[in-house]
Homo-oligomer: A and B are copies of this chain.
Amino acid sequence: MSSDPIDTPTKILQATLKLLEAPDAKLPTMSDIARATGISRQAVYLHFPSRTDLLVAATRYQDRLNNIDTGLAPSRGARSGAERLDAFVTAWGNYIPKIYGVARAIMAVTDTDAEAAAAWNTRMQDMREGCSAAIKALAEDGTLPPGTDMEQATDLLWTLLSVRNWENLTQTCGWSQDCYVATIRGMAMATLARDLGALTDVLACTDPPA
């Protein structure tokens, strides 16, 4: 019951997130957002100079709401490299669904809007830091196969963990979140740590089909 009145920019961001996170979300127009906020379309431009700026601001706002760092704490506290990789994959994999609505919108305009592409890349670069740290931890353990290029290993983990792959498996193929996490984790462990044991029970999920 916060009695302090919410300022207009925040109201706009909240409305935007609500629209983006709707289950059947189409890409909202500025008019949609204005209507949802309860103000005129042009008033939106008073606070956000362009649609892209608004979408980018929405992602930042959402990150603040979700406090991504708390989920990553177990990853940073992990003892072994394998443990760290495992924790990171799980944390990120479970974070994706929270940002998917907004991510989808940003990715959609990425093809036509360089500024949006830059914003999204920055965001993914942050995630890449986590990949890099996990790879480094594996290397320090000696778990990483000799001769492995750490840059390439990071690239691969980063690609495996892409939102697109999550989208493909859970949204298009209908996998459960647990099944997704288990499989990606298994693949990462098998490929990066040469640990076939991590693949036990992978690809044998028995989720009730949605």
A residues lining the B interface (CB < 8 Å) = 26-27, 104, 107-108, 111-112, 145, 147-149, 152-153, 155-156, 158-159, 162, 164-165, 168-169, 173, 175, 179, 183, 186-187, 190-192, 194, 196, 199, 201-206
On whether the beta carbons of B164 and A162 are closer than 8 Å, the reply is yes
Q: How far is the CA of A186 from the CA of B173 in the complex (A)?
A: 23
Instruction: Name A's interface SS.
Output: helix
Asked whether, in the complex, the Cβ of B194 is within 8 Å of the Cβ of A199, the reply is: yes
Complex: chain B residue closest to A107, CB-CB: B111
Tell me the smallest distance from the CB of A20 to a CB of chain B, in Å. Answer: 12
Give the number of copies in the complex: 2
Query: Which of A27, A104, A201, A203 is most buried by chain B, counting CB atoms within 10 A of its CB?
Result: A203
Closest Cβ of chain B: how far from A73's Cβ, in Å? 27
Whether B153 pairs with A173 at a CB distance below 8 angstroms is no
Q: Which residue of B lies closest to A109 (CB)?
A: B111
26 residue pairs bridging A and B, Cβ less than 8 Å apart: A27-B111, A108-B111, A145-B203, A149-B203, A152-B175, A152-B179, A152-B204, A152-B205, A153-B203, A155-B169, A155-B173, A155-B175, A156-B169, A156-B187, A158-B168, A158-B173, A159-B168, A162-B164, A186-B191, A187-B187, A187-B190, A190-B191, A190-B196, A191-B191, A192-B203, A194-B196
